[in-house]
Amino acid sequence: MLVSPSFPGLLLLTSFLLHVKEGHARPMGPVCDNRLIQKYIGEAKDMEKRVSECQAIPTLSCPVVLPLVDFNMRQWKSKSDEIKWREILCNLVLLVDAVTEAQGQVSQECGAGQLSQLYRHANSFLLLLQTFGWEEGPWEPGCSPRSTEQTQVTEIFLTYRQLVQGKLRFFFHNLAKDSCN
């Protein structure tokens, strides 16, 4: 699934791409500047807090499928960067799809606005990671990450925060060891 980025998404993607180092196929901004990933973690926490403060967000009538983004640190460290990258892409595809499905079910203004913001953020990360590309070939859709069905909108935001705070943060940290001065 490839969707055209919104204006904020374009700004995020542009800021990442401006940090691409010569000889590297990957944007170095979020990798080499830890402040960026910390900023995105803070934004994920803020979105999660704001959606929890929305009044009367209904339970979703049709459950959405969310990736299970928890991980074992020992197993995570043993994976190659490409495997981690593919796993995160799969998680993001499932998350973006879940947000899209939830958007079709939530008409309440506060919840709908927060879902739109979450969609822009998650889709921007998806677009960014698709630019990384590994030499073995481009990422292809069709992955099947571990998942769960949820009917609570707040669980979508929790999943996004956990993904950014966990796998994405550690993925960028690991790349920094190999790519940054």
Instruction: Classify 65 as helix, strand or coil.
Output: strand
Q: Distance between CA 80 and CA 85 in Å, rounded?
A: 9
Q: What percentage of the chain reaches a pLDDT higher than 70?
A: 76
Q: Distance between CA 111 and CA 35 in Å, rounded?
A: 28
Query: What type of residue sits at position 136?
Result: E
Could you tell me the pLDDT band of residue 21, with boundaries at 50, 70 and 90? very low
Task: Determine contact, residues 84/171, Cβ cutoff 8 Å.
Answer: yes
Q: Write phi, then psi, for 139 (nearest 5 degrees).
A: -70, 140
Predicted confidence at residue 70, as pLDDT, reads: 92
Task: Determine contact, residues 103/95, Cβ cutoff 8 Å.
Answer: no
- Give the start-end residues of each E strand in 130-169: 147-150
Predicted confidence at residue 30, as pLDDT, reads: 63
Quickly count: other Cβ atoms within 10 Å of residue 100's Cβ.
16
Could you tell me the pLDDT band of residue 131, with boundaries at 50, 70 and 90? confident
> Mean pLDDT across the stretch 100-129?
93
63 Cβ neighbours under 8 A, 6+ residues apart: 149, 150, 151
